[in-house]
């Protein structure tokens, strides 16, 4: 088992979870407007949805790897290309973080379900996992399905912790973002650098 690869995966997942996006902004606003438990319910739904995408990628990509190493190489090239595309799309964005406080109130159970379906019905999550995970396979002894599930669970753990902290510290985070208007630009360039570095890491990783 290559611990350095797992550490790189955990650090990359943490940076990506911290970068403002639709999911963590939604968690932030639910907590800010309605309270921490509403944000935490949303986090629970989002992270549960990640298990579905992990399963789809684990069994689908593992089957391709068993069929042909050339297909796996093609997946890695696609993955790196997709991450470079994401970096380009972030580069084209304004970098402004929009905090819209018009958030309707729902029961925590309804928010859990909504978070789950927000994640599961978003095909971009599966595409991102497909791009992200194959370059971080870390063991010659463990089968690929098991490795994908380890990566998926690590991603869920790291993202869940960070999203939960966002829910619990919603007031302070919102205040900081409102006081520091240029923070969006910092996050923008952090995202770009991380996407590009992960893309090159995937290209250079061995099967």
pLDDT, tens digit, 9 for 90 and up, residues 127-163: 899 888 888 888 888 888 999 999 999 999 999 999 9
pLDDT value of residue 180: 78
Least trusted range by pLDDT, from 13-17, 73-77, 174-178, 203-207: 203-207
According to the model, what pLDDT value does residue 60 have? 81
Q: What is the mean pLDDT of the chain?
A: 86
Structure confidence by residue, pLDDT tens digits, 11-58: 999 999 988 888 888 899 899 888 999 999 999 999 999 999 999 888
Can you list the alpha helix ranges (DSSP code H) found in the chain?
A: 3-18, 22-34, 36-67, 69-92, 108-120, 123-132, 144-168, 170-179, 183-204
The whole-number pLDDT of residue 149 equals 95
On the question of pLDDT at 100 being above 70, the answer is: no
pTM of the model: 0.86
């Amino acid at each position: 088992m290559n611990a350095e690869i797992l550490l790189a995966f955990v650090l990359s997942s943490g940076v990506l979870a911290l970068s403002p996006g639709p999911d963590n902004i939604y968690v932030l606003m639910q907590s800010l407007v309605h309270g921490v438990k509403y944000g935490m319910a949303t986090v629970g739904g989002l992270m549960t949805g990640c298990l579905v995408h992990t399963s789809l990628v684990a069994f689908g990509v593992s089957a391709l790897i068993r069929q042909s190493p050339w297909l796996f190489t093609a997946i890695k090239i696609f993955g790196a290309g997709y991450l470079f595309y994401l970096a380009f799309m972030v580069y084209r964005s304004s970098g402004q973080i929009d905090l819209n406080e018009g958030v309707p109130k729902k029961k925590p159970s309804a928010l859990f379900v909504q978070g789950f379906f927000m994640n599961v019905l978003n095909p971009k999550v599966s595409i991102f996992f497909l791009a992200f995970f194959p370059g971080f396979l870390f063991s010659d002894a463990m089968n690929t399905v098991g490795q994908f599930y380890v990566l998926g669970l690590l991603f869920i753990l790291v993202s869940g912790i960070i999203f939960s902290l966002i829910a619990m510290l919603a007031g302070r985070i919102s205040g900081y973002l409102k006081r520091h208007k240029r923070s969006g630009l910092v996050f923008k360039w952090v995202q770009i650098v991380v996407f590009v570095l992960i893309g090159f890491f995937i290209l250079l990783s061995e099967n």
